[in-house]
A and B are shown apart, each in its own frame.
Chain A
Amino acid sequence: MGKKMVLTGNYAVAYAAKLAHVDIVAAYPITPQTTIVEKIAELIEKGEMDATMIRVESEHSALAATFGAAVAGARVLTATSSHGLMYMHEWLHWFSRARIPGVMAIVTRTLAPPWNIWSDHTDFYGQRDTGWLLAFAMDNQEVLDTVIQAFKISEDPRVYLPVLIGLDAFILSHTSMPVELPDEDRVVEWLGPRRQGYVIDGREPLALGNLAWPEDTEELFMDLEKAMEESYNVIKEVDREYGELFGRSYGGLIQCVHCSDAKYLAVSTGAWSGDLIEAVNMLREEGYPVGVLRVRFYRPFPHRDIWEYARGVKGVIVYDRAISFGAWGPLYTDTVAGLYNYTTKLPIISNVIAGVGGVNVPHEDFYRLTKEFIDTIEKGEEPPRIKWYHRR
């Protein structure tokens, strides 16, 4: 049993970085990520954490400096939100295409104008195609555990891709919860030395990123995709090992609650999955055969695991805390496409978009929306495919 502390989600990120013996942190403050950077600075200056902090002048430089440190052999972590993430977006592509390990925490916050500091998942989903592994936590304990696991996954030679962990603004980042910290020595021993596929430190003349002709380029990206697919197994393996060593695991890429005999599934990701689980517990008590499928890793998309639980169901309702304007929710899109890999006879899949801009969606709303979905199908009718649920 490790040490128990009462930590906000942001502090959980900072302590995870400490436990993992991160070498270099280059970050720029932005609400609501700021306390991650502040806590790390405090831990370093107090001597509790042996790392170097680069107080960069922008988020673009933050990921650039993080990349430079990583390429030169350092274990790295950075963090940002919202427009900071938008500003550094080109660097996410650079990082993964260079096949260099690294970890980043994203405190998910919506985009402007108007200025808005509260949570939705738009900034997170915007990184969908970057080639990063994308994870999303539901509570602060999971934040800490997943950040530590991220180093193990990222530095695995079967992967060598950077990992992003999302946590909801204020709901997790600034809310205190009891978090158990695993023993630092055991974490460091489990993580082992930092591994990467190459290093640029003058030991031999090596150039990263010279111009490549189209055929070479496509082959490079195809190897990236193969590594992404391989990471599916690595994520499960790491989560299992973590459970054996430290007593907690999360089900790999997805967490399923009440799924084994479910006829209906509610899919979501992020902190509000907790409220969804509460709603589904209430529905279960009333006899509704419904389960929650929480997506823990959005990339690689867990289509195999979702198919395992969705194959016999009559309906799937996907809750998205973001919308791709002109289409529908990102999680819905991938769920439908993912299931289509396995069958052309899909169950009824509905998309409810809610909580965008940080609107609070309490468990009563999840209860009502999910109940309505199930009742409609049971009656033999079709629920609307896409619904943007808004409340004041």
Chain B
Amino acid sequence: MNYQFNWSVLWSGQSGGWLLHGLLLTLAISVLAWVLAAVLGIVSGAMRTVPWKPLRVIATFYVEFFRNVPFLVWMFFWYFGVPPLLPRVVQDWLFNHSAEFWAGMFALGVYHGARMSEIIRAGILSIPRTQFEAAVAMGLTTFQVYRLIIVPIALRLIVPPATNDSLNLLKNSSVALTISVAELTFQARQVETYTAKAIEALTAGTVIYLVLCLGIAAIMTRVERRFAIPGLIARGG
């Protein structure tokens, strides 16, 4: 069968709408998951550096277990394995409100929370101990030291590796197609299914991802330069 190129399928018919819908869903699931990952990452990353062992152990367990299992497995686990164990009321709500979106978001957020945790931990560890000691000498409690000094500095230090992982989060959102989240890659396949034009459909999806990723990377490089702390260079996480 000869392959006839037909680029117009991308904008005639429903393809354009599908791709746009997919892009919006990709962004939605990624942004929400990112927030979850940031919160989990900061809390558990900090927990791994405190002097109290039980907190360190809990955080380490979370990080090591979630980080070492493939993301696809987590996707199936959260979508197929978890809902049946939830109370009936929660299940009914989920199933009427796009359970697959929430399962995908959770899988993405919890997985990347574990990875962010490592990055934050590395950032915190690279802060000179003297900062911590000076703060304690001034009379701040451990919690205050972390909240007011350590974490804010660490966040500025880790912009490059954190950006890298955030882009990985965006790219990993594509795995949600396996649980039928109609995100961008799913829609590219949908276009291809209905128009039989695989190359055009995949190109459209690819170009959108490229623009997103390279665009965000460019913006973050500028952000990093603005927020860099002179004198403190973060090692790549």
A and B bind? no
